[in-house]
Amino acid sequence: MIQIGIVGVGTVGASVARILEENQDIITARAGKEIRVRKGVVRNLSRARDVAIPLTDDVDEILDDPDIDIVVELMGGVEEPYHVVKKALEKGKAVVTANKALLAYHRYELQDVAGDLPFEFEASVAGGIPIIKALREGLSANHIESIKGIINGTANYILTKMMTEGVDFGPVLKEAQALGYAEADPTFDIGGFDAAHKLLILASIAYGIDAKPEDILIEGIEQVTQEDIAFAKEFGYTIKLLGIAKKVGEFVELRVHPALVPQREMIAKVDGVMNGISVIGDKVGETMYYGPGAGGDATASAVISDIIAIARGGKSSPMLGFKRPLESGLQLLERDAIVSRYYLRLVVEDKPGVLAKVSQVMGEQKISIETMLQRPGEGETATLLLSTHRCEERAMQQALHALFGLESVKERPVMFRIER
Ligand code: NAP
Ligand code: HSE
């Protein structure tokens, strides 16, 4: 028998306890032994819960219990779970976590502390999709050329509802929270940080890159309006929050931002809480992964797959996929050097000469405009919606700065990237 302690019995932890009970037959058969929850840890013992496991509010009851083989960390946060997980490993226990924020900051230190102890984290990226095992094992013969995906269920749920039902941001976020999709602090979902945490985990496994969230380009979906959605639809795009990791020579670009994606692409059809990830390997070509990206049961499915893998015996592969560093070490590409196409929304004075000034700014940065649309705005203003050909981020940032400096530009310009 394998005994586990669950630190955090909230949305995911409660699903883990419930599924271990409900699917006991198949889980025992697959693991080759019974898996039992010995205890769960919560903050508030007086809260009513739909789980039938012994609970405590003292994490040491799990960490100091010699009969607990696996500590399952599902409490969220960064520093507190770091100490819990580190202590569990130091006491010789295997660890399973779904905590991408923890791994975004501490994955390399924890890999060192874990050594040969199993440390699994399938649920940390893309909920129920087994993307970690796919990258770490199934695609291990390949140089990974790119990873492009929708890796935050909450943001995708919100954008899908905004696109298809024309609804506002606020009420849809509340729905996503009620469904158990959002982080305890939903700014992580909306602001792109949760997707960035996941992208960093994938980038470690694919490229051996040790970067932190602060090192990469992260933009959220807060600025997406119905006006942008209308433009996107008119030109055959949908708007998605993407996480992108791409090998560019000896560099890897890492970025998270909303993007206009052509409607015909598979990734554009990934709606609601679903996640979709395209991985291109140099030998296999493109592979696609699709499934629920958030929610208690979908995430618990991945957590339990890790528990079963450990129960079956030992550690299958190094935590982050590399037994020794890649000799031709890859470097993180600086943000300014990222190349993309862009969409801009500008609120301008509706008077002669304004278009010429906007074009001049773009020309000075050698940015070529692809399409331009003008719509009447409020009062004496108009809204300019334009898309560009490919240019460097550096040039675009300078153009945005110069545009906002024009007297005829009335609001801070809004920019999204175009991905195809
Ligand atoms: P949640 O519903 O907020 O549950 C967190 C649980 O941890 C609660 O039971 C809470 O206790 C307990 N907890 C928090 N801080 C604690 C502390 N200091 N001491 C003891 N217990 C503590 O969160 P969740 O949605 O289940 O997410 C858990 C983890 O899974 C997070 O890392 C999250 O990013 C990750 N994840 C979530 C999903 C999802 O769809 N929800 C998907 C993938 C990954 P109380 O109940 O008493 O407050
Ligand atoms: N809040 C996360 C999301 C949970 O919405 O994708 C899954 O990691």
Q: Residue 151: pLDDT above 90?
A: yes
**Under 8 Å between Cβ of 305 and 122:** yes
- Binned at pLDDT 50, 70 and 90, residue 212 comes out as very high
Question: For a pocket test of ligand 2, which of 189, 198, 273 has the largest count of ligand atoms closer than 8 A to its C-beta?
Answer: 189
Strand partners, 343: 387, 416
Single-letter residue type at 200: L
Rounded average pLDDT over 375-383: 91
Q: Residue 316: pLDDT above 80?
A: no
Ligand 2 within 6 A of 295 CB?
Answer: no
198 in catalytic set: yes
Region label for 178, one of left (φ > 0), alpha (ψ between -120 and 50) or beta (otherwise): alpha
Region label for 241, one of left (φ > 0), alpha (ψ between -120 and 50) or beta (otherwise): beta
- Binned at pLDDT 50, 70 and 90, residue 7 comes out as very high
Ligand 1 within 6 A of 13 CB?
Answer: yes
The residue nearest atom 48 of ligand 1, judged by CA position, is: 43
Kindly tell me the burial class for residue 415, based on how many C-beta atoms sit within 10 Å of its own C-beta (0-12, 13-18, 19 or more).
buried
- Confidence at residue 84, expressed as pLDDT on a 0 to 100 scale: 98
- Binned at pLDDT 50, 70 and 90, residue 63 comes out as very high
- Confidence at residue 378, expressed as pLDDT on a 0 to 100 scale: 87
Written as one string, the DSSP assignment of 392-412 is EHHHHHHHHHHHHHSTTB-SP
- Binned at pLDDT 50, 70 and 90, residue 314 comes out as low
Ligand number, closest to the Cα atom of 275: 2
**Domains of the chain, first to last:** 2-131+297-311 (3.40.50.720), 134-290+328-332 (3.30.360.10), 336-418 (3.30.70.260)
Rounded average pLDDT over 198-226: 96
Residue recorded with tokens 């997980």: 85
Rounded average pLDDT over 277-284: 98
Ligand number, closest to the Cα atom of 273: 2
Tens-digit pLDDT profile for residues 350-368:
999 999 999 999 999 999 9
- Confidence at residue 377, expressed as pLDDT on a 0 to 100 scale: 87
d(CA 189, CA 152): 7
Ligand 1 within 6 A of 390 CB?
Answer: no
Backbone angles phi, psi at 106, to 5 degrees: -120, 15
Ligand 1 within 6 A of 181 CB?
Answer: yes
- Binned at pLDDT 50, 70 and 90, residue 168 comes out as confident
